[in-house]
Amino acid sequence: MENVVLIIHLILALGLIAVVLLQRSEGGGLGMGGGGGGAVSGRSAATAMSKVTWVLAIAFIITSITLTIIAAEQSAGSSVIDRLGTTPPALNDTPSSNLPADDSLLPPGPADNTPQVPTAD
């Protein structure tokens, strides 16, 4: 089911791109140009291409929502970690056997924790 909706979604996306690119640029989208669609209203009559664009856009949104619902149902109760098959250790469950017994993780320096200040000679 998901593959069928995905294929329809991709076909709609390609069709929507093609229809938008085939439309005539009127310059009204960015506020440029007059266009003079009517004497009273500034809105021009809807052409067949604009109607097709609306239909494809609505169908594209519907398939997008459908794909989201399908993906949510399939992933309910599982996470990416569950799909990997391994569980990460908790932060406080680190076994002490993995840590070195001495202070080899500390940088070399004096035994006490007083900061070393260089003296001017």
Q: What is the pLDDT of residues 4-35, one digit of tens each?
A: 999 999 999 999 999 999 987 766 555 555 55
Nearest 5°: phi and psi at 72?
-70, -40
pLDDT at 121: 61
Rounded Cα distance between 90 and 23, Å, is 57
Q: Read off the amino acid at residue 8.
A: I
Write down the residue that tokens 């076994």 correspond to: 95
Rounded Cα distance between 82 and 93, Å, is 19
What pLDDT, in 10s, does the model give residues 73-99?
887 676 767 667 665 566 555 555 565
**Residue 109 placed within a domain:** no
pLDDT (mean) for 99-119: 63
- For residue 12, what are the domain limits? 1-23+49-74
**Residue 111 placed within a domain:** no
**Residue 79 placed within a domain:** no
pLDDT at 41: 52
Q: Read off the amino acid at residue 18.
A: A
**Residue 66 placed within a domain:** yes
**Residue 98 placed within a domain:** no
Q: What total of structural domains would you count in the chain?
A: 1
What pLDDT, in 10s, does the model give residues 30-72?
555 555 554 555 556 678 888 999 999 999 999 999 999 998 8
- Exposed/middle/buried for 84, CB within 10 Å: 0-12, 13-18, 19+? exposed
**Residue 53 placed within a domain:** yes
**Residue 95 placed within a domain:** no
pLDDT at 89: 60
